[in-house]
């Protein structure tokens, strides 16, 4: 179990920790961090808490160990459907690392899928299995997790461990290592396979062709017996070596160890176990950073010594090198042949290795290191420049040492940066403030498009839409004033970005705008308008070939001694005015999840550099994801403003 609950663990915990959950109510849902959600459950006799960790699984926790909780847009959507809902059923899907929670709210039924496979996901569907919302909306090779699509679980990896008596090894597989073959072909935690191989005396790195079939069959039977023991007995054991817990197993270990003890209450044990794993993981990460910093300091110190030694060498042999530079200048002025210049200088000073005549640089070797002398400058200026470079490395060493000190102290204390709270009605939609200071608001889906038009669009307001089926409705409220051409251009760009055009990979699209009085929800006689669709009457004002370029901006905000962050997105000019860093994107082939991680990594590095502290930026992954249109991406540039 060490760090991740296996499919066998999921089955056992279903009966050990969640056996009485049916009939309970989901009271509240929170974010613990980017990868963990907290469910507050009201049971028949008492309240309890469950944490779903998308990397590790679902387990009960206590109040005392929770950090400050937040509520992200995704959690708000879950709350809309799940708050005060009754848990009607709780089950495991396909014997895999997926739980299904069936809930009822009023007369409506919903399905919640908790997956800790791959990068993990939380998926909400209606009673028919149509996806309403997911933490990670994306298209996989084997299924689609997209709004409106039917939910399907990922295909099982390998065969059921209880059926491995029937496993066949094709001739093409006999050159594989036995450990690789078993891991790929059996749907079981690696810890079962590892124990079975050790018990049967098989070297995991051996190729299949070198192992007797009888021993392989013995190994398979050991796996079956361990799985049967785990399923039937449903007991856990923790294994210690040198006073350290190295394993938590749902079967009695078959290999020797210092100490093996049964776990009294696995639910309580999980609470403590997973709570203490994260700090240790972070500490290892910090230790890795410290080693890199220490190596950098050593490298800088070496460079300083080498540079200063060379500068001192030049000072001691000042006349000799000054003569060399003067000879070079004289021969260049006389337009001597390059090869003649090279031979002359090497003859004057054997340490001369080469000459770059375009850059006016003479390469000199000293103590097995290569140095450059700028022939456009005097020897005195060259020596000063070398000492300056050494000083720069010294400053880097000082910064690195400060970082090393702060990194050690920050293992216990990290700066948590929260997302800036929403304070205006339009922040529930897509939005940006134009270069002229005017609010531009767009719908995220058909429901929000409908709300914008029905509730907020007035007769004199402007309505924008890309000239393609499918996309965001964008409105600009005139408030009975005039709207400048710059705002119209930027609103058109916003409508183009969040249209079907991005998803299909277009680089530009026509966009039209009309007045609010030209937009109607009333269809022609005998026709029907679906949700999010509208009739446009009268002349459309077209803006041709609007380029699809999205700029995502990140801003740190200090307010009442707290530090918050904000993500801005939209056309380049208004976003870069409000941001500390920006990312310029166009339609491309890079997948959504990879681009989110790339942007997130750069933001975290920027914030750590600016604040000179280890930071945790709450819900950053989701904040970035909420800005991106459907489709692929190409990062044009990343700029610090």
CA distances (Å), origin 28, targets 37, 39, 255: 11, 6, 44
Query: How far is residue 260 CA from its own chain's centroid?
Result: 38
Residues 399 and 433 in one domain: no
Q: What does the pLDDT read at residue 197?
A: 86
Whether residue 278 is predicted with pLDDT greater than 60 in this model: the reply is: no
pTM value surpassing 0.75? no
The mean-pLDDT minimum among 135-144, 281-290, 318-327 falls in: 281-290
More confident residue, 413 or 382: 382
Q: 131 with 171, same domain?
A: no
Under 8 Å between Cβ of 251 and 229: yes
Strand order in the sheet with 121-126: 57-61, 47-53, 36-42, 25-33, 85-92, 98-105, 108-115, 121-126, 131-134
Asked whether residue 75 falls in the same domain as residue 166, the answer is no
Judged against a pLDDT cut of 60, whether residue 277 lies above it is answered with no
- Residue range 65-90: average pLDDT? 86
Q: Give a yes or no: residue 2 inside a domain.
A: no
pLDDT at 63: 56
Compute CA 48 distance to the chain's CA centroid, rounded to the nearest angstrom: 30
**What pLDDT shows up at residue 284?**
45
Shared domain for 509 and 573, answered yes or no, is no
CATH of the domain at 72: 2.30.310.10
Do 566 and 534 share a structural domain?
no
Sheet with 562-570, strands from edge to edge, namely 615-617, 415-419, 562-570, 550-559, 581-590, 633-640
Query: Which of these ranges, 217-221, 528-532, 591-595, has the smallest mean pLDDT?
Result: 528-532
| pLDDT reported for residue 275 | 58
φ/ψ (deg, to 5) at 172: -70, -15
Residues 6+ apart with CB under 8 A from 603: 554, 581, 617, 620, 624
Question: Is residue 1 in a domain?
Answer: no
From 465, 433, 427, 461, select the one nearest 446 (Cα to Cα). Answer: 465
In a domain, 204, yes or no: yes
pLDDT confidence band for 215 (50 / 70 / 90): confident
Q: Are residues 64 and 23 in the same domain?
A: yes
Question: Tens digits of per-residue pLDDT, 426-477?
Answer: 998 999 999 999 999 999 988 899 999 999 999 999 999 999 998 999 999 9
Q: What is the rounded CA–CA span in Å between residue 88 and residue 79?
A: 17
Q: Domain boundary residue among 385, 409, 433?
A: 409
Is 374 part of a structural domain of the chain?
yes
Q: What is the pLDDT of residue 195?
A: 84
Tell me the angle at which helices 178-185 and 190-199 cross, rounded to the nearest 10 degrees: 140
Query: Which range has the worst mean pLDDT, 69-78, 209-218, 286-295, 518-527?
Result: 286-295
Are both 358 and 395 inside the same structural domain? Answer: yes
* Most confident of the following: 401-405, 412-416, 476-480: 476-480
- If asked whether residues 141 and 165 sit together in one domain, one would say no
**What three-state secondary structure class fits 168?**
coil
250-265 pLDDT, tens digit per residue, is: 888 766 556 777 887 8
pLDDT at 222 over 50: yes
The proportion of the chain whose per-residue pLDDT surpasses 90, expressed as a percent, equals: 44
* Domain membership flag for residue 207: yes
Q: What is the pLDDT of residues 317-364, one digit of tens each?
A: 999 999 999 999 999 999 889 889 989 999 999 999 888 888 889 999
Q: Are residues 440 and 534 in the same domain?
A: yes
Domain boundary among 112, 145, 178: 145
Domain boundary among 86, 117, 145: 145
- Cβ neighbours, 10 Å, residue 335: 6
pLDDT for residue 280: 40
Q: Please give the share of the chain, as a percent, with pLDDT higher than 70.
A: 92
Report which of residues 219 and 553 the model is more confident about.
553
When pLDDT is cut at 50, 70 and 90, the band that residue 272 belongs to is: low
Cβ contacts of 237 within 8 Å, gap of 6 or more: 248, 249, 251, 252, 253, 260, 261, 262, 263
What's the domain range around 429?
425-547
Q: Which of 612, 602, 560 is nearest to 582 (CA)?
A: 602
Tally the domains of the chain: 5
Is residue 453 assigned to a domain?
Answer: yes
Helices in 410-452 by DSSP H: which ranges?
A: 446-451
Looking at the structure, tell me whether residues 111 and 239 fall in a common domain.
no
Please tell me whether residues 542 and 611 are part of one structural domain.
Answer: no
Q: Tell me what the mean pLDDT of segment 536-551 comes to.
A: 95
| pLDDT above 70 (res 595) | yes
What confidence tier does 283 reach under pLDDT thresholds 50, 70, 90? very low
Residues 222 and 346 in one domain: no
pLDDT at residue 565 is higher than 80: yes
State the pLDDT confidence band at 406, using cuts at 50, 70 and 90.
low
418 vs 69: CA distance, rounded Å: 10
* 259 Rama sector, left if φ>0, alpha if ψ -120 to 50, beta otherwise: beta
Any domain includes 278: no
Q: What is the pLDDT of residue 25?
A: 93
In a domain, 415, yes or no: no
């Amino acid at each position: 179990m060490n760090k991740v609950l296996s499919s066998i663990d999921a089955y056992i915990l279903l009966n050990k920790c969640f056996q009485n959950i049916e009939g309970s109510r989901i009271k509240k849902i929170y974010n613990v961090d980017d990868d963990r959600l907290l469910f507050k459950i009201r049971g028949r006799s008492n309240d309890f808490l469950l944490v779903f960790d998308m990397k590790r699984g679902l387990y009960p926790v206590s109040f005392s160990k929770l950090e400050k909780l937040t509520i992200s847009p995704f959690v708000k959507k879950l709350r809309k459907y799940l708050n005060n809902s009754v848990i009607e059923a709780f089950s495991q899907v396909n014997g895999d690392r997926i739980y299904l929670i069936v809930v009822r709210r009023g007369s409506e039924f919903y399905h919640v899928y908790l997956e800790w496979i791959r990068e993990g996901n939380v998926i909400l569907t209606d009673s028919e299995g149509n996806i309403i919302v997911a933490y990670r909306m994306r298209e996989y090779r084997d299924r689609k997790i997209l709004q409106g699509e039917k939910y399907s679980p990922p295909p099982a990896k390998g065969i059921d461990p209880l059926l491995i008596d029937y496993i066949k090894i094709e001739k093409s597989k006999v050159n594989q290592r036995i450990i690789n073959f078993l891991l790929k072909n059996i749907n079981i935690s690696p810890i079962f396979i590892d124990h079975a191989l050790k018990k049967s005396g098989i070297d995991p790195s051996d190729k299949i062709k070198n192992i007797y079939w009888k021993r392989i069959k013995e190994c398979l039977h050991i796996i079956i017996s361990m799985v049967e023991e785990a399923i039937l007995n449903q007991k856990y054991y923790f294994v210690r070596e040198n006073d350290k817990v190295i394993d938590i197993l749902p079967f009695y270990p078959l290999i020797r160890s210092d100490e093996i003890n049964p776990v009294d209450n696995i639910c309580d044990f999980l609470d403590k176990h997973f709570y203490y794993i994260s700090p240790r993981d972070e500490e290892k990460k910090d230790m890795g950073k410290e080693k890199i910093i220490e190596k950098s300091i050593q490298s800088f110190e070496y460079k300083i010594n080498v540079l200063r030694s060379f500068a001192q060498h030049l000072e001691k042999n000042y006349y000799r090198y000054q003569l060399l530079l003067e000879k070079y200048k004289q021969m260049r002025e006389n337009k001597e042949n390059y090869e003649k210049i090279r031979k002359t200088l090497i003859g004057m000073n054997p340490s001369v290795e080469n000459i770059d005549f375009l850059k006016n640089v003479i390469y000199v070797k000293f103590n097995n290191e290569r140095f450059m002398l700028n022939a456009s400058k005097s020897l005195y200026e060259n020596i000063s420049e070398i000492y300056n470079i050494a000083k720069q490395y010294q400053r880097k060493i000082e910064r690195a040492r400060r970082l090393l000190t702060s990194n050690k102290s920050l293992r216990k204390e990290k700066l948590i940066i929260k997302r800036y709270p929403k304070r205006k009605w339009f922040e529930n939609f897509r939005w940006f403030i134009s270069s002229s200071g005017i609010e531009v608001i767009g719908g995220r889906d058909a429901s929000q498009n409908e709300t914008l038009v029905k509730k907020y669009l007035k007769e004199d307001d402007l309505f924008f839409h890309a000239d393609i089926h499918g996309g965001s409705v964008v409105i600009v409220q005139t408030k009975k004033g005039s709207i400048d051409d710059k705002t119209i251009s930027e609103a058109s760009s916003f409508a183009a970005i969040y249209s079907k055009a991005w998803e299909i990979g277009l680089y530009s699209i026509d966009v039209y705008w009309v007045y609010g009085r030209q937009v109607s929800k009333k269809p022609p006689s005998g026709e029907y308008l679906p949700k999010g669709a509208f009739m446009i009457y009268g002349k459309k004002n077209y803006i041709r070939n609007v380029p699809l370029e999205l700029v995502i901006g990140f801003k740190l905000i200090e307010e009442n001694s707290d530090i918050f962050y904000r993500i801005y997105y939209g056309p380049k000019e208004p976003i870069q005015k409000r941001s500390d860093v920006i990312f310029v994107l166009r339609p491309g082939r890079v997948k959504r999840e990879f681009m989110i991680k790339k942007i997130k990594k750069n933001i975290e590095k920027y914030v750590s550099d600016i604040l000179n502290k280890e930071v945790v930026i709450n819900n950053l992954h989701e904040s970035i994801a909420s800005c991106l249109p459907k489709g692929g991406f190409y990062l044009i540039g990343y700029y610090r403003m």
